Amino acid sequence: MRKYLLPLIFTFLAFCQAFGQTTLPNMNLEDWVSVPWVYHDTLTGSYDSVAGGVWVTANRAVLLNPTYFMPTTFKTSDAYSGSWAAKIVTDMTENGLLVTGTLATGRFDIYAPPPDNLKMGVPFTGRPIHFKTWIKYFPVEHDSCDIWCMLLKWNPQKMARDTISVAWYTDTITYTQYYHLDIPFKYYSDAVPDTVSIVYAPSASGDLFLGQPGSTLYVDEITLEYSSGFNQILMPEVGVKYYPSPATDLIRFDIREEMKDAVIQIFNGQGQLLASKRFSGQDVLFNLAGFTPGTYYYLLSNKTTQLNSGTFLKTGN
């Protein structure tokens, strides 16, 4: 891999430093909002933005100066499943500046001067084995897309984040129909990450202002798979809280909606099922006696649908 840079018009800057999140909202890209942009106190237009507080796009650049920058990520009904997906394009400004569209996890600080706008990554503590997503891709003149999911962990000695694992894909292949990417993670450490950074771009060298205007990438449905087929849900249907954190002998799951005939399962780091409870209501208690200290995964589901998943830490007594 040439390098892990977000192919935005800005260089790689910093990662979010919050901890503890184990599921991410709206990773099926169904929820969108229209964001108006105002320049010099004048309403200039609006752009599409993925809701949920997880995604950041190059569209935010228009808030800096709509004279030079234009939206490059759009909501589209051309979806693999559901109603909506993301359409990301590479374009050229009127003054000849190449702008590569980007969809990524993180946030954009409109009040910070370039290149300090982009804050890449969101909190995450899983150790998946596969990164899965559905795409269509229409490259122009042998352009190549760039898609990756990177897991990182803050290293206080280095005052920087170590790369725990990477799943990465780049190619010039045209996909006129949705294609299922199944990308294995390559691990460099046994550590539990604290951050996940996911990036999609239609031009892999967009960070170097290289690419082809018109190259277009469609994105829909993102999941992370663990051993034994356990899939961590990145678009939870039902909110779940658990305590204490970390757990010792007991762990209690607090479900934000009344459940009827639901089930919570607990898996180890290899994806093996260790415990399961069927329940109705909003409260489930597990006895963790006999569980060795480490990271475990939970899955909430009903008869037909996986509703939420995440990780929790079990410590010694």
- Supply the pTM of this predicted model: 0.71
pLDDT of residue 303: 73
Q: What is the DSSP string of 271-306?
A: --EEEEEEEEEEEEEEE-TTPPSEEEEEEEE-SS-E
Digit-coded pLDDT (tens) for 172-205: 999 999 999 999 999 998 888 889 999 999 999 8
Digit-coded pLDDT (tens) for 221-246: 888 887 766 666 665 678 888 989 88
Diameter of the chain measured on Cα atoms:
66
pLDDT of residue 21: 42
Distance between CA 16 and CA 227 in Å, rounded? 27
Domains belonging to the chain, first-starting first, are 14-229 (2.60.120.890), 237-314 (2.60.40.3080)
**More confidently predicted of 4 and 214:** 214
Distance between CA 212 and CA 258 in Å, rounded? 51
Average pLDDT over residues 269-284: 86
pLDDT of residue 231: 67
CB 129 within 8 A of CB 123: no
256: its two tokens: 């934000």
Distance between CA 261 and CA 279 in Å, rounded? 6
Digit-coded pLDDT (tens) for 30-73: 889 888 877 666 667 788 888 877 888 888 777 777 767 788 99
End-to-end alpha carbon distance in the chain: 43
pLDDT of residue 179: 97
Distance between CA 122 and CA 14 in Å, rounded? 11
Digit-coded pLDDT (tens) for 108-143: 776 665 445 666 788 887 788 899 999 999 999 999
Average pLDDT over residues 87-91: 94
Share of the chain above pLDDT 90, in %: 39
Q: Give 12's pLDDT tier (boundaries 50, 70, 90).
A: very low
Digit-coded pLDDT (tens) for 18-37: 333 435 667 788 889 888 87
Digit-coded pLDDT (tens) for 154-171: 999 999 999 999 999 999
